[in-house]
């Protein structure tokens, strides 16, 4: 969480927040009748300073990162005024549980904030010591931040930059590069997995990304299937013995095709569930061991 301001009363009241989610900046606000969520599509580079500009006018909001194109969004409902009576929090919040349904962030910001302007006026951080907790000065080469014999160089983009010797990595050369997961082990669109034998790690790429650190390719956020040889496979569903609820939001480009299937193998009766498009209608099929059931909508989707 980078910034949050809300109301002291119950969860769901007016608020405004800025956070990093999966390496991307996310701007949220609610004026009392529905939340707006605005995300920048590109991940920010860790270890460097960036600029972000937030604007809100009634129910309309926008986000602009490093002088690039604005990303816009709109909150729901009829209310337009933003009423805030809680302290403005920068860099963190005392109780993240209360923010779960609003800002959607569970941890504070890790890094430095060099400048903050609100309504054109700069917030002077040195004047706020009475209301800050756990905040220290952003390090420079004078503080000798580089570890493991790393060489420090002054940098306008990041205040300082460490040149690490072979075998070490990280913004401060603090990690053995081949032993375990660390903040810079994989790209922003990947999950780092430590190997069970303790000898290294692997980068599990998100959909559309590839390469050793998952830095190649384009992240797929809304998959497009061609109907021939395209599919996504997930591990078997293991908690659906008695109940199953599936919700899909889809845009069909053909009147027929399988959208969802989950089944069993090597059993006398192979249980399964499927959702398909059949002649322009949505069809739900399932087999529970006592016979196949078919449900079809009669209206056009």
Judged against a pLDDT cut of 80, whether residue 83 lies above it is answered with no
Judged against a pLDDT cut of 70, whether residue 298 lies above it is answered with no
Which range is least confidently modeled, 6-15, 134-143, 270-279?
A: 6-15
Which range is least confidently modeled, 38-47, 61-70, 98-107, 199-208?
A: 98-107
Average pLDDT of the residues of the chain = 84
| CA distance linking residue 118 with residue 128, whole number of Å | 15
CATH topology match: 139-177 vs 185-221: yes
- CATH for the stretch 139-177: 2.10.25.10
| Structure-model confidence comparison of residues 104 and 259, the more confident one | 259
- pLDDT tens digit sequence for 90-99: 898 888 777 7
- Tracing tokens 């002291």 back to the chain, one arrives at 8
pLDDT of residue 59: 84
pLDDT of residue 26: 93
Tell me how crowded residue 242 is: count the other CB atoms within 10 A of its CB.
Answer: 5
Judged against a pLDDT cut of 90, whether residue 196 lies above it is answered with no
pLDDT of residue 256: 92
Which range is least confidently modeled, 3-7, 22-26, 32-36, 281-285?
A: 32-36
pLDDT of residue 209: 92
Domain over 185-221 is classified CATH 2.10.25: yes
Q: What contacts 285, CB < 8 A, 6 or more positions away?
A: 272, 273, 274, 275, 276, 292, 293, 294, 295
Domain covering 3-131, topology: Jelly Rolls (2.60.120)
Residue 145: band (very low, low, confident or very high) from pLDDT cuts 50, 70, 90 = very high
283, 296 in Cβ contact below 8 A?
A: yes
33, 78 in Cβ contact below 8 A?
A: yes
Average of pLDDT values for 148-163?
89
| Structure-model confidence comparison of residues 103 and 40, the more confident one | 40
Sorted by where each begins, the domain ranges of the chain are: 3-131, 139-177, 185-221, 222-301
Give the rounded percent of residues in the chain with a pLDDT score beyond 70: 89
pLDDT of residue 52: 95
- pLDDT tens digit sequence for 237-296: 776 667 778 888 899 999 999 999 888 665 555 778 889 999 999 999 888 766 667 776
What is the DSSP code (8-state) at residue 1? -
Judged against a pLDDT cut of 80, whether residue 148 lies above it is answered with yes
| CA distance linking residue 134 with residue 108, whole number of Å | 11
| CA distance linking residue 190 with residue 203, whole number of Å | 6
What is the DSSP code (8-state) at residue 67? T
Residue 50: band (very low, low, confident or very high) from pLDDT cuts 50, 70, 90 = very high
Judged against a pLDDT cut of 60, whether residue 122 lies above it is answered with yes
């Amino acid at each position: 969480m980078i910034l949050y301001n809300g109301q002291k009363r119950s969860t769901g009241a007016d608020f405004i927040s800025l956070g990093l989610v999966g390496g991307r900046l996310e701007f949220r606000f609610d004026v009392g009748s529905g939340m707006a969520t605005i995300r920048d599509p590109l991940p920010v580079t860790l270890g460097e300073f960036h600029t972000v500009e937030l604007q809100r006018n009634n129910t309309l909001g926008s986000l602009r990162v490093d002088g690039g194109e604005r990303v816009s969004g709109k909150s729901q409902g009829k209310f337009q005024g933003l009423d805030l009576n809680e302290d403005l929090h920068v860099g963190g919040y005392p109780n993240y549980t209360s923010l779960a349904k609003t800002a959607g962030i569970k941890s504070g910001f890790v890094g430095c904030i060099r400048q903050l302007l609100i309504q054109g006026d700069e917030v002077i951080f040195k004047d706020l010591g009475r209301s800050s907790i756990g905040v220290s000065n952003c390090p420079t080469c004078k503080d000798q931040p580089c570890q493991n014999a790393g060489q420090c160089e002054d940098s306008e983009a990041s205040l300082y930059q460490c040149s690490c010797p072979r075998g070490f990595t990280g913004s401060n050369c603090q990690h053995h590069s081949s032993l375990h997961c660390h903040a810079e082990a994989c790209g922003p669109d990947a999950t780092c997995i430590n190997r069970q034998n303790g000898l290294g790690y692997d980068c599990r790429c998100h959909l559309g990304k590839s390469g050793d650190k998952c830095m190649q390719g384009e992240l797929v956020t809304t998959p497009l299937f061609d109907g021939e040889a395209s599919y996504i496979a997930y591990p078997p569903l293991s908690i659906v013995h008695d109940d199953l609820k599936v919700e899909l939001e889809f845009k069909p480009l053909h009147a027929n095709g399988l959208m969802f299937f989950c089944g069993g193998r090597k059993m006398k009766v192979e249980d399964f569930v499927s959702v398909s498009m059949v002649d322009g209608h949505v069809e739900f099929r399932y087999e529970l061991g006592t016979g196949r059931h078919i449900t079809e909508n009669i209206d056009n989707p």
